[in-house]
């Protein structure tokens, strides 16, 4: 061997981590035994040995997409109280559903929720299909939700793979391939772990393990039922997984929002178009949100003539595909002011009942936290 080849071989030997072998293959039984002792109590989860009805599983799973358990809890209770069955939800108006959903974000979910409830009633007589194929045919139900509802409500042999489960599985097998390309492999390995019974408990156990033990930072491996077979743990590389491909950041968009309050305590609102981002949600009037927004021209987009005052600072919000900055203008107008076409006055005290998306709640909070514009103070009751 040439000297340079020897040096290269030595350098590789030094650089590469030595792969340790995990002691054994992971067993579903170990995870289920752990789950029986440590399962989380959640409003949508049945007691041990019982099964959650499909309506509650489906409702909670739609709400939990991109949203934390803590945030979802009160919304889940509110929906179940207002609409205790899928038939009741199907009979509700979309506007009512959007109002009840306001603040939970990702509003396409609320529209799909409503469409799905109607489809279950119209196509299936109000009974959720018990197969993955049947569930997948419903509006707003993708692979993850079909697997979750199928497994948890019907014990179908399926594994819902969310971010928590991806983390557990990539660590368990030290999967070097980065997400999202690694998704099919993760699904295959997760499915290979499925026990012949208790699919629903297995799915929830995996979710709980990822949420409580196998955390992104400093996982509590000593408490993990798969401590022995976990390859990443054996190699001391837990926090390296999952590998993720670099994300493309969306380009910043900017715009202006106009908060105008009438002297008798009414605020000017409008409903967004039927299609597109935040479709059919309520907003204060504003300009388009664009990459080349020019603040100097903003007042030309105001809904009516008034003594507009630009509020200091901006409202920042991040949508999944772009960040947004809104400059807020505020004005006070006389009680006799007419609402422009396609806009309406809504009592400030009732504004919390409107289907306001989070970004608009931020705009109002920003406006109402500021010192009063020209015609006196805005009432703080809308915050």
> Interface with ligand SF4 by CB under 6 A: which residues?
168, 171-172, 213-214, 219, 221, 224, 226-227, 230, 232-233, 238
Largest Cα–Cα distance in the chain? 94
DSSP state of 154: H
Distances from the Cα of 43 to the Cα of 103, 201, 285, angstroms: 19, 16, 38
Angle (CA) 75-79-80 rounded to 5° is: 115
- Least distance (Å) between residue 245 CB and ligand SF4: 21
Judging by DSSP bridges, how do beta strands 323-333 and 282-283 pair with one another?
unpaired
Structure tokens at 44: 């949508």
Is 61 known to be catalytic? yes
Q: Phi/psi at 13 (nearest 5 deg)? A: -60, -35
- Least distance (Å) between residue 175 CB and ligand SF4: 12
- Least distance (Å) between residue 60 CB and ligand SF4: 24
Q: For residues 213 and 227, what is the distance between their CA atoms, to the nearest angstrom? A: 11
The residue among 59 and 224 lying less far from ligand SF4, judged by its C-beta, is 224
The residue among 55 and 241 lying less far from ligand SF4, judged by its C-beta, is 241
- Least distance (Å) between residue 204 CB and ligand SF4: 16
Which of these is catalytic: 50, 61, 228, 240? 61
DSSP string, 180-242: TTTHHHHHHHHHHT--SS-HHHHHHHHHHIIIIIS-SSS--GGG-TTTTT-HHHHHT-GGG-S
- Least distance (Å) between residue 159 CB and ligand SF4: 15
Which residues are designated catalytic? 61
């Amino acid at each position: 061997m040439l000297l340079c080849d020897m040096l290269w071989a030595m350098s590789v030997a030094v650089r590469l981590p030595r792969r340790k072998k995990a002691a054994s293959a992971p067993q579903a039984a170990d995870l289920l035994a752990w789950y029986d002792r440590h399962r989380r109590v959640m409003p949508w989860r049945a007691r041990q040995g019982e099964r959650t009805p499909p309506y509650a599983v489906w409702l909670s799973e739609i709400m939990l997409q991109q949203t934390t358990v803590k945030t979802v809890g009160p919304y889940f209770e509110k929906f179940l109280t207002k609409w205790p069955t899928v038939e009741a939800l199907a009979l509700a108006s979309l506007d009512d559903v959007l109002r009840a959903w306001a603040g939970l974000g990702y509003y396409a979910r609320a529209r799909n929720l409503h469409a799905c409830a109607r489809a279950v009633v119209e196509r299936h007589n109000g009974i959720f299909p018990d197969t993955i194929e049947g569930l997948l045919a419903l509006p707003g139900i993708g692979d993850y939700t079909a697997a979750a509802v199928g497994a948890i409500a019907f014990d179908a042999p399926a594994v819902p793979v969310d971010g928590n489960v991806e983390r557990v599985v990539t660590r368990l097998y030290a999967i070097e391939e980065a997400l999202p390309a690694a998704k099919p492999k993760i699904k295959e390995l997760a499915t290979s772990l499925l026990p012949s019974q208790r699919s629903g408990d297995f799915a929830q156990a995996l979710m709980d393990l990822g949420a409580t033990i196998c955390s992104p930072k400093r996982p509590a491996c000593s408490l993990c039922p798969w401590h022995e077979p976990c390859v990443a743990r054996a190699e001391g590389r837990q926090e390296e997984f999952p590998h993720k491909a670099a994300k493309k950041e969306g380009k910043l968009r900017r715009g202006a929002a106009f908060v105008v309050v009438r002297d008798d305590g009414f605020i000017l609102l409008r409903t967004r178009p039927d299609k597109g981002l935040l479709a059919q949600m309520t907003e204060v009037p504003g300009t388009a949100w664009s990459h080349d927004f020019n603040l100097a021209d903003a007042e030309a987009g105001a809904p009516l003539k008034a003594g507009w005052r630009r509020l200091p600072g901006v409202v920042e919000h991040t949508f999944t595909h772009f960040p947004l900055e809104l400059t807020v203008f505020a004005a006070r107008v006389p009680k006799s002011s007419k609402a422009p076409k396609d806009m309406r006055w809504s009592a400030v005290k009732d504004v919390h009942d409107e289907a306001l998306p989070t970004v608009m709640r931020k705009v109002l909070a920003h406006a109402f936290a500021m010192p009063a514009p020209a015609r006196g103070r805005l009432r703080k009751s809308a915050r």
